[in-house]
Amino acid sequence: MDQFTVPQFIEHEAKIVGPLTFKQFIFIGIAAAICFIFYFTTPFFIFILATIVIMFGGAALAFLKSGGRSLPLVLKNFFRFSLAPKMYLWKHKAGLPPKIMKIAPAAKEIEKASVPTVAGKSRLNELSTKIETKSEEQPQ
């Protein structure tokens, strides 16, 4: 029997409504509902301006990603960090700061050091595959 490696890091949200996931559909739907209410309660010019802003915001919440994370998650983390209490500690170190002259010889030694070279072929692809599939080398 042959053994196959199966990737372990698969993240996929199901498409519920057409090409949209449930969260995307909710963000777009809420923005559209707010615009629908504005249509009947505000003057036309204000309705047009509000619709542009609200639909842009709904689309940004639904589709925009920053660093591989969705915008609602980024905003949640931002507000949680901003509003959480923080404690700043200052630790006094005794003595004077090091003089510049003492640091300069160390920098010259670093420049004189030879650059190490890599011998052989890179194993980056092999290691990447092992990490993604959580496989370990099996003795043969």
Q: Is residue 53 part of a domain?
A: yes
Q: Is residue 82 part of a domain?
A: yes
What's the confidence (pLDDT) of residue 137?
55
What is 31-93 written as a DSSP string?
HHHHHHHHHHHS-HHHHHHHHHHHHHHHHHHHH-EETTEEHHHHHHHHHHHHHS-------PP
Q: Is residue 110 part of a domain?
A: no
Q: Give the whole-angstrom CA distance, residue 136 versus residue 104.
A: 46
Q: How many domains does the chain have?
A: 1
Quick: pLDDT tens for 96-129.
Answer: 666 655 555 555 565 555 555 555 556 777 777 7
Q: Is residue 51 part of a domain?
A: yes
Q: Is residue 140 part of a domain?
A: no
Quick: pLDDT tens for 13-62.
Answer: 778 888 888 999 999 999 999 999 999 999 999 999 999 999 999 999 99
Q: Is residue 5 part of a domain?
A: no
